[in-house]
Chain A
Amino acid sequence: MKGYNFAYLDEQTKRMIRRALLKAVAIPGHQVPFGSREMPLPYGWGTGGIQVTASILGAGDVLKVIDQGADDTTNAVSIRRFFARTAGVATTTATAEATVIQTRHRIPEKQLREDQIIVYQVPQPEPLFRLEPSRAETKRMHGLADYGLMHVKLYEDIARFGQISISYDYPVMVNERYLMSPSPIPAFDNPKMDMMPALQLFGAGREKRIYAIPPWTRVKSLDFDDHPFRAINAPHPCGLCGATDAYLDEVVTDNRGGRLFVCSDTDYCAERRAAGHIGTDGFQEAAE
């Protein structure tokens, strides 16, 4: 695109972000500060993720962008189009074809590969921020691996509700050292982070932090021995494709209490339907 550098950001900024990324990969789960730039979209819409993506994108990359698992929502469509225009890279909705996947709030159902990179948009990188208001103190806690406080939160949940009530942004321990916020993905997706073959990068634009999980790294969701971590999902098969192993969205279909549970990963659902799988509320693709 004329008048813009490749992938929007200038080369010096990309260089600075890449240095932060290298440091983040070297210390899995550790939050690295970086000079976050103004982007042509508001904070909370993925300014951190988009800067990370811009810094790692090459001319030969194939980009996929998802928002809550879907390729066709506003955020996903506009970020995908943004990079198609400013970098001229190929885009796709198919998880298997992508080399870089920018995501908000989900990890694709399809197992990622070693030649892929997943970039998370992060609103709040500090997993302890609701528990300890001082950022200086949380930095010290990370430095000393002093994470008893996070377990106090889990203890309080069990004492009050009988179970750990965190359903998204469920805190994880990376490489048995750093406590990390996995970004607001559902707890259902947490196990996918463990020993993932793909590189995982996290960008928080407003909070100016980058962190990362290198491929094949241990990621453990916090829990108690007698209250183990549970991946929570709606107890239904997908209404369209019949999948029982995918994270489901609940869609209100009418005002008489009608509900439809569908895969939140649209690509996964479409692929299954194309292969002939059909759910109770589905219809034959060929009959369309």
Chain B
Amino acid sequence: MNEPTLLSGRGLGLDFGGITALADVDVDLWPGEMLAIVGESGSGKTTLLNVLSGRMAPDQGAVWYRDPTGHLHDVHAMPAPALRTLHRSDWGFVHQDPRQNLRMGVSAGGNVGERLMAQGARHYGNIRAAALDWLAQVEIDARRIDDLPRTFSGGMLQRLQIARTLVTHPRLVFMDEPTGGLDVSVQARLLDLIRSLVTRLRIAVVLVTHDIAVARLLAHRIAVMQRGRIVETGLTDQVLDDPRHPYTQLLVSSVLNA
């Protein structure tokens, strides 16, 4: 990998009172790469995701982001408007619960179009065309464009959230347990969809999951977290087939057919 990194975290540390949420965490992400952060619940995965995405400030360390022109930005030193702009254009965030991200009182088309309009799109026809295009890409029937999300099933809501996030062609997407809470067949379709979209659009993804199978299916690289530290990191297959750290061994052996 001679390409410069897209996102780097160096020496990240964060305490919640006496609890260590993150300690001495280094993370690198290259363009178009999918990095999975796995670990049991309470190991600091979601905290790390929040720190990397600038939503939570670390006590120690810094997160660096390289913009399309090659300039490095310290994410936590950025002015709030710049960070907000980043979040609604170059970056995306996919929540476990799509209701957190979607506007439930706004039609599917409006939900997909919001990021475009926030970026200054002012042509109704174009916004509508983009919304239709993205609904098709996430396999939602075009006739549902004017329906409210509350009439959608759980899997459809998650796909709508993905359409809403990817409509601005972000370079980097943070995903927090995107398949959590869905039944197995829906999960499989969604994983397939995420994988094909991300590969085709060459989006870099930081994926938080407790599900080793999801990590194996999607991620190029994997980082295993335990008590706020990254205990092992490497290529996904390498780490999962030949785990070195005792905790990773435990994690892998506890999953059937992982």
Q: Which of B69-77, B104-112, B198-206 contacts A (4 or more CB under 8 A)?
A: B104-112
CB of B167, distance to nearest CB on chain A (Å) = 12
Within A132-167, which residues are at the interface with B (CB < 8 Å)? 143-149, 151-152, 155-156, 158-160
* Residue with the highest number of chain B CB atoms closer than 10 Å, among A145, A155, A158, A225: A155
Partner of A159, one of B80, B81, B146: B146
In the bound complex, residues from chain B placing their C-beta under 8 Å from that of A147 are: 118
In the bound complex, residues from chain B placing their C-beta under 8 Å from that of A155 are: 109-110, 113, 117, 124, 127
CB of A171, distance to nearest CB on chain B (Å) = 13
- Bound state CA distance, A141 and B110, in angstroms? 18
A146 B109 Cβ-Cβ under 8 A: no
B122 A152 Cβ-Cβ under 8 A: no
Interface presence of A288 (CB below 8 A): no
Interface presence of A115 (CB below 8 A): no
B124 A152 Cβ-Cβ under 8 A: no
In the bound complex, residues from chain B placing their C-beta under 8 Å from that of A226 are: 123-125
B124 A224 Cβ-Cβ under 8 A: yes
A152 B84 Cβ-Cβ under 8 A: no
In the bound complex, residues from chain A placing their C-beta under 8 Å from that of B33 are: none
B110 A152 Cβ-Cβ under 8 A: yes
B81 A144 Cβ-Cβ under 8 A: yes
Within B120-138, which residues are at the interface with A (CB < 8 Å)? 122-125, 127-128
CB of A60, distance to nearest CB on chain B (Å) = 45
- Bound state CA distance, A158 and B109, in angstroms? 11
B146 A160 Cβ-Cβ under 8 A: yes
Whether A148 touches B118, Cβ cut-off 8 Å, given contacts A155-B124, A226-B125, A227-B124, is yes
In the bound complex, residues from chain B placing their C-beta under 8 Å from that of A158 are: 124
B110 A224 Cβ-Cβ under 8 A: no
Question: Which residue in chain B gives the minimum CB-CB distance to A156?
Answer: B110
- Bound state CA distance, A144 and B123, in angstroms? 22
B125 A152 Cβ-Cβ under 8 A: no
A156 B107 Cβ-Cβ under 8 A: yes
CB of B83, distance to nearest CB on chain A (Å) = 9
B115 A152 Cβ-Cβ under 8 A: no
Whether A225 touches B127, Cβ cut-off 8 Å, given contacts A148-B88, A152-B103, A152-B114, is no
In the bound complex, residues from chain A placing their C-beta under 8 Å from that of B119 are: 148
In the bound complex, residues from chain B placing their C-beta under 8 Å from that of A143 are: 80-81
- Bound state CA distance, A159 and B117, in angstroms? 15
- Bound state CA distance, A229 and B145, in angstroms? 24
In the bound complex, residues from chain A placing their C-beta under 8 Å from that of B107 are: 156, 159-160
Whether A159 touches B109, Cβ cut-off 8 Å, given contacts A148-B88, A152-B103, is yes
Question: Which residue in chain B gives the minimum CB-CB distance to A149?
Answer: B114
In the bound complex, residues from chain B placing their C-beta under 8 Å from that of A149 are: 114, 118
- Bound state CA distance, A52 and B182, in angstroms? 56
Query: What 0/1 pattern do residues 181 to 193 of B give for CB contact below 8 A with A?
Result: 0000000000000
- Bound state CA distance, A158 and B80, in angstroms? 32
Query: What 0/1 pattern do residues 10 to 50 of B give for CB contact below 8 A with A?
Result: 00000000000000000000000000000000000000000
In the bound complex, residues from chain B placing their C-beta under 8 Å from that of A145 are: 81
Partner of A151, one of B81, B103, B122, B128: B122
A-B contact pairs, 5 of them (CB 8 A): A143-B80, A148-B88, A151-B122, A159-B146, A224-B124
Give the 10 A-B CB pairs with smallest separation, nearest first: A148-B118, A151-B117, A224-B124, A148-B117, A225-B123, A144-B81, A152-B110, A152-B114, A144-B84, A156-B110
A-to-B contact residues, CB < 8 Å: 143-149, 151-152, 155-156, 158-160, 223-227
